Structure 1
Amino acid sequence: MIGQTLGNRYELLARVGGGGMALVYKARDNLLNRYVAVKVLRQQFVHDDDFVRRFRREAQAAASLSHPNIVSIYDVGQEEDTHYIVMEFVDGANLNEIIRERAPLQTDEAVKIASQICDALDHAHLNQIIHRDIKPHNILIGYNGRVKVTDFGIARAATSSTITQTGSVVGSVHYFSPEHAKGVATGEKSDIYSLGIVLYQMLTGRLPFLGESPISVALKHLQEPFEQPRKVNPHIPQSVENVILRAMRKNPQERYASAAQMLSDLETCLQPQRLNEPPVHFGSDDDPESDKTRVIPAIRPDMRNTIEAPAIKGGAAEERWDNRGLEDKPRRRWVLPTVLGIMAAVLIGVLVWAVIALKGSLTPPDVMVPSVIHMKLDEARAKLESVGLKVEEPPLYEVNKEVEPNTVLKQSKQDIKVKEGSLITLTVSKAPDLPPMPGLKGLTLEESSSKLEELGVNPDNIRPKEVFDDSEPGTVLDQKPAEGDPFDPENDAITLTVSKGKEEIDMPNLIGKTEAEARAELEKNNLKLKDDKVITEPSYMAEKGKVFKQFPAEPNEKVPPGTEVTLYVSSGYPPDAKEPTWNVTVSPAQEGQQSTIKIVVSDAKGDNRDYWDAPRKISQTTTFPVTLVLGPGKDGTIIVYRDGKEIARTPVPYEDMPADATDAAGGTDATTDASGSDQPPAGDGGQTDGQTGGQGNGQ
């Protein structure tokens, strides 16, 4: 069937498994673009109407289960003579393969697997579904470690004839519970017994019961004890062995009361205080004959005469059998048949009378079937039971978006009289099967949004959440719901955690700050001082103790938090620096009226820099001292602006300054006169309508 497409949707790609009743294929769901598993009923059963009907009913029942440890059933269909069930595809191996390759498993791994199986069984039992075929072949383990129980309902759908034909009894007899082997009704505790055997096999690498035939194995389940796990594998803790012993009791009453109780025991059995607890003890263990098969003794040769001819005291027996006695006794062979005939006639008459007399009392009364449509399932069940009717379990489920889940949509009988105790089949609504959330990690936000919109997600429900990360900006780092979780494309909000690139901050301006101020600024901005030291060297750019250079970034450049910064702190001006002070005399444009004065200087500290932080206001002739820093090859210039216009430009050559002009307080006292009315500036002397002159030290 590989290459065939079922339901114009499921393309069969490869066969991945199979059993006596069905074959399993890996397939692609072309509608939702995902891989699924398709179980196809074998051809020899497609004409067994009873089997097909129960097969579909049980598949629908299994589809009602929604649990992370149960393989989800997506669809049930039929195409001509092909009946199939579509279910979740688990990428991994079954537990039987893992046991065959690695058994005995580590205790914590085996307990973890058993706990997930137990959780799945508890969910199924709460929904009135018994698996009845728990075995390693039906336990799938994905590569992510998630355990999935499969084949819910299929074993219950088999008729007695198909069990014989498919050989499923043979395949599962090693995991049968004693009550299953007897052929009596099985319940939740039968699944618990089978899970106990699976845990036994995981921890020991062997089955508790083996035999030459299925019948001999079934008899051992009923009659014989099994070898205790710790005798096979001494590394098993006593607390874990106690779980196995309780789950595998032949008497169902001595097993766990429910899968939830067994799960609770599994969750604590590896706690340190429990590892060496005493072996579990059962009351029936005190009766040595309670679990043993009683054997009828064989007939010995020396007993034959006693059985065939018992002795009679006084020789009466001998007298009865001598020739003379037989001849003297009259023959009355008609008496016994006559008596027996009369007794039989009387007995038959009594039975006929009893049947006629009791017929009325044995026939159940008629009851009216009430309508339970639009009721919740629990309410409908209670109402039908209140009039003496029963609900067929499990109910049938039908997808209906317009009706709240678990609401009765249809019932098999309504507003008619039926016998008390009759079964009523209910069809109940359920929510649509939700698709699994696709994996979006590593994609861009744009790619993720497109993929979600193809599944029907409203763009308004896609909510990006930006965080700093080393990944490329726009890369999806996390998602909610997680990959594989079921979600509603029409209603669920989807949160995508998206990278906005590496975190960056603005490099602060440290130029002109003291070392202490610079350190404090670095710490405030989550930056570091490289090697916790600074580089001190002479500089024309800053006075002693001030930062004149920072590396590796200039102020306001973007850097990541934690960047290491190197500081260069001035140890003072170089030895050959000169610091002459030049007195600049400036007059207002008109005496008595206010003018705005700005002085711009160029020297070794920089070109065309404002000498003051803000212009000065004068209304009379004023002299301002201007100190320059000069160096070899770097002369100075003083430019005076009045009301925005240049009125004087005075060069201050380095060579013309005396060698001792290095003290800002007592250096060269030269004068630049920039008084008078607005006139174009003079060249090389700064001549204006006033006088500009320069005088050296001592003038």
Structure 2
Amino acid sequence: MIGQDLGGRYEILTRIGGGGMALVYKAHDVLLNRNVAVKVLRQQFVHDEEFIRRFRREAQSAAALSHPNVVSIYDVGQEEDTHYIVMEYIEGHNLNEVILERAPLQPDEAVRIAMQIADALDHAHQNHIIHRDIKPHNILIGKNGRVKVTDFGIARAVTSSTITQTGSVLGSVHYFSPEHAKGINTGEKSDLYSLGIVLYQMLTAKLPFLGESPISVALKHLQENFEEPRIVNPHIPQSVENVILKAMRKNPNERYGSAHEMLLDLDTCLRPERLKEPKITFIHVNDMEETRVMPAIRGDFPPPAPKEQERNQPLSSKTDEQAKDSTLTPKAKGWKKPLTVVGVTLIILALIIGGFIWLLGWLDVAEVDVPYVVGKSETEARQMIEAVGLKVEDPVLHEHNKEVPKDQVLSQTKRNMRVKEGSLIQITVSDGPELEELGNYVGKSLQTAIDELGALGVIEDQIMIEYVFSEEAADTIIQQSPKPGEEYNPESVEFKFMVSKGRETVPMPNLIGKRLDEAKDLIKANELTLDTADILYEPSYLHQKDFVISQDPYKPKDLVSKGAKISIRVSSGPPADAKNHQFNIVISPAEAGKTSEIRIIYSDASGENIEWDKRQITSTQTFPVTVIVAPDTEANVTVYRDNQFIDRKVITYEELLKGTNSSTLTIPGEEVQATEEPVQAEVDESNDEPIEEEQTGQQEQQQESEQP
């Protein structure tokens, strides 16, 4: 059923309970976007037309109830052989679970729960609906403490043929009223008796009547008195015990007149002035149905008349009778007819008595004890049942059960009793936990698999995840175990998913400023992809030809998946209208024969104040410095010797258009330096260009003579 859609509207999510007649599932109403509870009729009843008809009628009548303490019924439907009832879904526990976990409950809590049940029963009784199966299993308690009564009207749909098949009625025998146990029509007060037992159990943690078999428990409801609540639990107030004693009277006339009357009594029983009230007493009312000893009847004829009556009889009448007798006496043949009648009668009586004795002998079949086969395998159970002369009723019922292993008997009928040889015993065999068929999650996201499996009752601790690098998108399932289509137990299976974490990543290398062939080697070493179409060339003043200008779309040190495609821009050299010019710098040491440090700086279209070189010289040397000049700009070269500004030479783009491809800057040694020592060169910090305050006439003439 898990995953099935009923009526194209109710998506079955998980099983939440079940009983002898139906299984209950949590479902999602896709139309109204809410969770609901769906009760599905067991398959063994789907062909019982009378059962289905009454089941529907009672479910529909219960749907007419609208009360905060009644589980609402939303829908009744059928899909092929599946009959279902859609009800309100209550998030919480049933009262039986609360009793098992915490009973005995505090009086105020028990009374509060009982009041809400009584209020629900009052509403139902006013609508002419009798529950007939009030027990803790049918009382739901939500997380907000609200009490909800469920299964209204369902007990009425149980026919005599289903009582022994399902055990559903006998299963509730501990909460039967005496009139229910007698098999007579039950009324509203039967529900009040059951509510009294529920209140008794909440406050004492035990049931009032226990027995070895359902029949023995039913007889105790009829014949025996229960142990009073305050004997079991002295902490129960007398006023609360009085409510229980009145609700559980065997004679319905001595119980509460209605659920509303019981509700009013519950509402006031915990008031301080009532806590120590006197114990309730009852006037004995003769029950015409109770068992009595009747006097034996000695004969079928009236007693003889007194002798005085005979003496007073008239003489004439006696004389007449004697005369009649004397008249009949001469007829000798009259005796044969009575004798014939008597003879025939005796023969008939003999035949009747003989047949009756024969019938009793035929009906008097030996009784045997029913073996207890719960927990045995189906084969072993059959052998045990047949060994004592009993038979297994076919077909054997099968039911999924997460507690009982597969192929073991989980229930049987007629246990703990003696039955006639040849009687049929119905057994129910466990099919183990209800298995689900695993879907194919390969290619789906991990979260999708976790959500779908969680709806089936799988917890995250059952899911093992291994992350690996792959070509698939991150969080995509690559492999799964169990394999798709395999059946599994949602409560015990361990899932293993291999999940992609995407392609393996590497830090993006810095390609800017690298030669093209060097950049290609770095891309290949990091398993990245560079297509020829993604190498773009463009002119550049800043980068030499075949050097990388930029890289896209990843910046240096970005984490990039292996195999990712990138593109680069490569310098094709300066633009076509750029001009090259070579400065030939001839420079001597400051003092002949001594070492001087020479530093040359240039500015052109490729940048400002670029250091060309720094060297140690001991003699006059020539240094060629090539610069690039863009249109409408100029280039210059500046020379420092021993950390002092010596000279600067400028060339403009207009001069280069005239054909000036090179020029010479000569810097002599000591004799020139001596004249220059007083002159200080200031460097403009904004562009590092020297500002000369004075130039000797000799230097100006020398520079002019060196220019072409």
Same fold (TM over 0.5): no
TM interval, shorter chain, is 0.3 to 0.5
- Bigger radius of gyration, 1 or 2? 2
Question: Structure 1-normalised TM-score?
Answer: 0.42
Question: Structure 2-normalised TM-score?
Answer: 0.42
